[in-house]
Each structure stands twice: as C-alpha cells, then as structure tokens.
Amino acid sequence: MPGKSHGSERIHKMSRRTELELSLTSYGRSERGVSLDYLKPEVPCELLIVAGIHGEESDGVISLSRAFRSISPLVISPSIAAVFCANPDGVILGTRGNANGVDLNRNFPASNWSPDPSTCRWHADEDETIPIFTGKEPGSESETKAIISLIKALKPAQILTLHGPLACVDDPNQSPLGQWIAKRTKLSLVQDIGYPTPGSMGSWASEAGIPIITWEFPPDGVEALSRSQVPVIADIISGNFPGGNEL
Ligand SMILES: [Zn+2]
C-alpha cells in the first residue's frame, strides 16, 4: 500500500538506484525551450515539493532525485507532486537566475514585487553582494508563469521548496512538517529568513493562502547531504513522518 510499507522493501538496494523510475509530466518550457517536468500526483495534492528554482543550488535537484531513487516507487505517497528542477536553464548555465539573468524567486507577482535589482552573494558568509534582475514585470519569465499555472491547477495543501546553503528551515506557520524537518535534520526552525524577499514564491504563495516551507540545506555538498538530508526527503515522499499518513 503506498506510503505504508516499512523495512527492506521500502528502501532500494544501491544496485537499483541508477535510474529515476518515474514518468514525469511536462508543465511548460524554460526560456531556452527546456521541458519543465514534474511528478504528477494520483489524487488531490497534499504536498508540492519544488527544487532548483535557483540554478546555482543544484544540490537540491540532485538530493530530490536521490530521495526518489532511494525508495520503491510503490511507496511514494499518491498525493505528492514534485518539480525536480524549476530553473533548468540556470542549472545548465550555473547561474542563480534563468537564461535572462532573472532571479525567478524574485519574479513572482506578489504585492511586494520590486523592479529594483535584488542581490545575492557569491559566498554566503561574506557581505559583498551581486545585483540580480527581478524581471521586466512581475511574472515575466516562462518558468515563473509555468509554475504558477501548475500550482493553480494542483491546488497543493502545502508547498516545500528546497534551497541552500543557509542551513535552516523557514516556516512562517511553524507547521508540523516544518517542525519535524528541523528536528530530523537538526537545522534551526525560523519564521523569517532574516532579509526581505520581494516577489518570492513564498510571498506569492502566502498571499494565495498556500502554506510554504523553505528548506535551506547546509553548505555541505551532495555527498554529505545524501546522508543528512536525502533520507529525510525520502521519508517525506513516502509519508513516513507524523501526519504523513494523510499524504
Ligand atoms: Zn535559493
């Protein structure tokens, strides 16, 4: 039964972790024409997981894929939807923004969207910042339009976005899932990331009444994250957490 299996049949042997044994559905195209793909839920969507909206945070893309490849597809909760990479152009180019140099996580049509360039950092622990565009208008980019349409169609009860490397769980609602992720990963649970994020998916989703958790991985690299974060993602997608039997 999906989400209910425990023990050895739930966890894939290493020899079976090569391929992603899921069929993904396209929800649009990037600015450079790359297909934007997601795992479609089989029932109403309780949780939408989104990775890779920042192209230079490919650790989240790889970790989400590894979590799905760690477990049998038979135990994946039918109400889970997952976007493996919301910004494939950025991942290919190694940039935070998309192919137009726009930070997609500042391009959402939230009331706080700003045309002023946002800033990001080359090193998270240094103050020197790099300007980055927020788009010529709110929701201007193909990737933003596509994921907004997807969210409106799915109507997820909750969204979980994977980012890095700030090492915290940002959950304004302090939800049971956010609390559980923080406890499992020993990351601090915060209600605010500590700086303004106008035009972010979080700002837009909050205004749309959809609770959103931002999971900021620590700056450890894929090898360490595969031990510290991936098993927690695997438990979430298979419903193995408090309240997860509702997924
Ligand atoms: Zn990010």
Q: What is the pLDDT of residues 175-232, one digit of tens each?
A: 999 999 999 999 999 998 888 899 999 999 999 999 999 999 999 999 999 999 999 9
Q: How close is the Cα of 2 to the center of ligand 1, in Å?
A: 31
User: Among all residues, which ones are annotated catalytic?
Assistant: 216
Q: How far is the CA of 5 from the centre of ligand 1 (A)?
A: 33
Q: Check pLDDT > 50 for residue 1.
A: no
| 7-246: in CATH 3.40.630.10 | yes
Q: Which segments of the chain are extended strands (E)?
A: 25-29, 35-39, 47-51, 80-83, 118-121, 129-132, 158-163, 168-170, 188-190, 212-216
Q: What pLDDT was estimated at residue 10?
A: 83
- Alpha-carbon span 189 to 170, nearest angstrom: 6
| pTM of full prediction above 0.85 | yes
Q: What is the enclosing helix (H) or strand (E) of 24?
A: none
Domain boundaries, the chain: 7-246
Count CA within 13 A, CB hemisphere, residue 202.
20
User: How far does residue 15's CA lie from ligand 1's centre (Å)?
Assistant: 32
* pLDDT of residue 39 exceeding 60: yes
- Tens of pLDDT, residue by residue over 145-161, are 999 999 999 999 999 99
pLDDT at 2 over 50: no
Distance CA 127, CA 245 (A): 43
CA of 44 to the centre of ligand 1 (A): 27
d(CA 32, CA 18): 28
Please give the backbone phi and psi of residue 9, each rounded to the nearest 5 degrees, phi first.
-75, -15
Q: Are 195 and 215 in contact (CB under 8 A)?
A: no
Among 231, 27, 232, 229, which residue's Cα sits nearest to residue 142?
A: 27
In degrees, rounded to 5, the angle at the alpha carbon of residue 197 between the alpha carbons of residues 80 and 61 is 40
Q: What are 133's strand-pairing partners?
A: 102
Tell me the residue length of the chain: 247
Distance (Å) from CA 88 to ligand 1 centroid: 14
